Amino acid sequence: MATEEIVKEALFKVGGLVEPPYFVGREAELERLCNDARDLTQSNLILAPRRFGKSSLLHNIKKQLQDEEQLLIPYVNCREITSYADFHRVTVAALLSEYESKTRVAGLLEAFRFVLKERVLRAVQRVEEIGGSLSEVGRVYLRFREQEVEDTELARAAFRFFRSFAEEKSVRVVFLLDEFQEVAGFNGFLFNLFKKELDEVPNVRYFFSGSSMRMLSSIFLREDAPLYLMVSRHYMEPLRENTVADFVRQRLAIAGLAITNPAVQLLHALTGGIPYYIQKLGVLVVQSAFLRSTTKITVSQVRDGFDAMLEELDSEFEVRWFARFSNQQRTIVKTLAQLGEARMKDIAAEMRVQRYDISSAVNRLRDMMILATKSDGSYYVIDCVFAAWLNKP
């Protein structure tokens, strides 16, 4: 009989970066992106709604390529970047730290931090001692500190540094820029710099990832956007039913648990194949099985687990509901959650308004990756767990 004590490893992992065996599917994406990174074929934009596993995908690209010679893959979370000075500090530090961990050469990152923080005179001295491209980028920072140059100059210097550092150390560099929608508010200056780099620099590439088309469209997707057609786009899908079924079965088996076919199908359907919810529901279903002292999970435990999950997500969904949407958007999302799947004219009819009254709000919701369209043109709420929460009596 399975008990919690005999299970040594966690069966599921909810939140944070995951690796195999907790990271499943995504084989095609991983292969393509790893090839692009290895050969510096092109830069990429990875788009998916929240919780589809973007950060984990980036993490696994890095992991798969960790033994690749002369290839550096610095990871940057763009939430840390709210100014050009941040951009400079965070990206340069990420590159140096990646170089140090790959080559086991120490001291560069520490020297860079010294230059950022120490009193100017000592910093100047240190900058001169370091030499090479790092000296160069440090010097620009000191001029910025002395208010001799604008902060935009820091962004320019950072890009110059990536290029010259790569040449100097004979390395290829692939920057992973996660949550890139967070810098969408920067003015065109930064993106024009990116464009120039994408055009001209042979040994540095960028993998951008983000979860809002609305914010990213002005950078990548619109015809007048600075990086339009400069990167290859990938839209991540939910995990497929058989991937989910295999994963859930394998994880449960570790604790001596099994799941019926209808139950695992239901688990996939209720989570919509969204990775985060699969793992979270996995945990709750196991808890329900332990409580009932059963080793075979059935539809009823999946239903119980799902109810518990909605309850756990209650406050988070409530915040999302009131913070992110306008009144009209709320009515649209709620109507569509009830209808399940509907064309624009049917949503409008249900709301007793004209189609043109809601079309721009619907498009906006689609760009926010809240709604998506099927091939027949009908709309649905992407996050079906959120939709189920909205439909709760």
Ligand X SMILES: Nc1ncnc2c1ncn2[C@@H]1O[C@H](COP(=O)(O)OP(=O)(O)OP(=O)(O)O)[C@@H](O)[C@H]1O
Residue numbers at the binding site for Mg ion (CB under 5 A): 54-55
> How many Cα atoms occupy the beta-carbon half-sphere of 307 within 13 Å?
7
User: Which one of 19-27, 305-313, 360-368, 374-382 is the stretch in contact with ligand X (CB under 6 A)?
Assistant: 19-27
Mutual orientation of helices 241-254 and 275-291 as an angle, nearest 10°? 40
**Least Å from the CB of residue 373 to ligand X:** 21
Task: Closer to ligand X by CB, 62 or 163: give it.
Answer: 62
CB 283 within 8 A of CB 12: yes
Of 387, 288, 272, nearest to 337 (Cα)?
387
Closest CB to ligand X among residues 141, 220: 220
As separate numbers, helices (DSSP H) first and strands (DSSP E) second, the chain gives 17, 10
* CA gap 143, 148 in Å, rounded: 5
Residue 15 interacting with ligand X (CB under 6 A):
yes
Query: Closest by alpha carbon to 211, among 369, 59, 33, 329?
Result: 369
Q: Which is nearer to ligand X, 123 or 369 (CB)?
A: 369
- Choose the one of Mg ion, ligand X, none that binds residue 56, judging by a C-beta under 5 to 8 angstroms depending on kind: ligand X
275 binds, among ligand X, Mg ion, none (CB under 5 to 8 A by kind): ligand X
The backbone torsions φ and ψ at residue 16, rounded to the nearest 5 degrees and listed phi first, read: 80, 175
Interaction partner, residue 65 (Mg ion, ligand X, none; CB < 5-8 Å by kind): none
What is the closest distance, in whole angstroms, from the C-beta atom of residue 366 to Mg ion in the complex? 21
Identified binder of ligand X from the candidate list 4, 5, 8, 16, rule CB under 6 A: 16
Q: Which residue, 162 or 276, has its beta carbon nearer to ligand X?
A: 276
- Check residue 53 for interaction with ligand X (CB under 6 A): yes
- Looking at the DSSP bridge assignments, the partners of residue 173 are 72, 204
24/134 with CB nearer ligand X: 24
Q: How far is the CB of 101 from ligand X (least distance, A)?
A: 21
For ligand X, give the closer residue by CB, 25 or 74.
Answer: 25
**Residue 276, binding choice from ligand X, Mg ion, none, Cβ under 5 to 8 Å by partner class:** ligand X
Position 370, amino acid: I
Of residues 182 and 197, the one with the C-beta less far from Mg ion:
182
Query: Taking contact as CB under 6 A, which single stretch among the options 18-26, 132-140, 219-227, 302-310 is the one that binds ligand X?
Result: 18-26
> Among 38, 51, 126, 355, which residue sits at the site for ligand X (rule: CB under 6 A)?
51
Stretch that binds ligand X, among 46-54, 105-113, 161-169, 338-346 (CB under 6 A): 46-54
55 binds ligand X (CB under 6 A): yes
Closer CB to ligand X, residue 18 or residue 96? 18
Q: Looking only at residues 266 through 285 of this chain, which bind ligand X when binding is defined by CB under 6 A?
A: 275-276, 279
Strand partners, 177: 76, 208
54 contacts ligand X (rule: CB under 6 A): yes
Measured from each CB, the residue nearest to ligand X is: 53
CA 29 to CA 236: how far, in whole Å? 8
Burial class (CB in 10 A: 0-12, 13-18, 19+), 107: exposed
Q: Which of 43, 56, 181, 271 binds ligand X (CB under 6 A)?
A: 56
Specify the residue, 60 or 329, whose C-beta has the smaller distance to ligand X. Answer: 60
Contacted entry of ligand X, Mg ion, none for residue 271, CB cut-off 5 to 8 Å set by kind: none
Residue 307 contacts by C-beta under 8 Å, 6 or more apart in sequence? none
Phi and psi at residue 205, to the nearest 5° = -130, 165
Q: Token pair for residue 383?
A: 């996050």
The number of CA neighbours under 13 Å toward the Cβ of 388 is: 17
Q: Report how far Cα 130 is from the mean position of its chain's Cα atoms.
A: 35
Query: Does residue 142 contact residue 41 with C-beta atoms inside 8 Å?
Result: no
Name the 3-class secondary structure at 81: coil
Instruction: Choose among 214, 172, 234: nearest CA to 370.
Output: 214
Candidate residues 50, 214, 303, 320; the one interacting with ligand X per rule CB under 6 A: 50
Q: Rank residues 55 and 181 by Cβ distance to Mg ion and give the closer one.
A: 55
Burial of 241 (0-12, 13-18, 19+ CB in 10 A): middle
CA 345 to chain centre: 33
Binding site for ligand X (CB under 6 A): 13-18, 22-26, 48, 50-56, 211, 275-276, 279
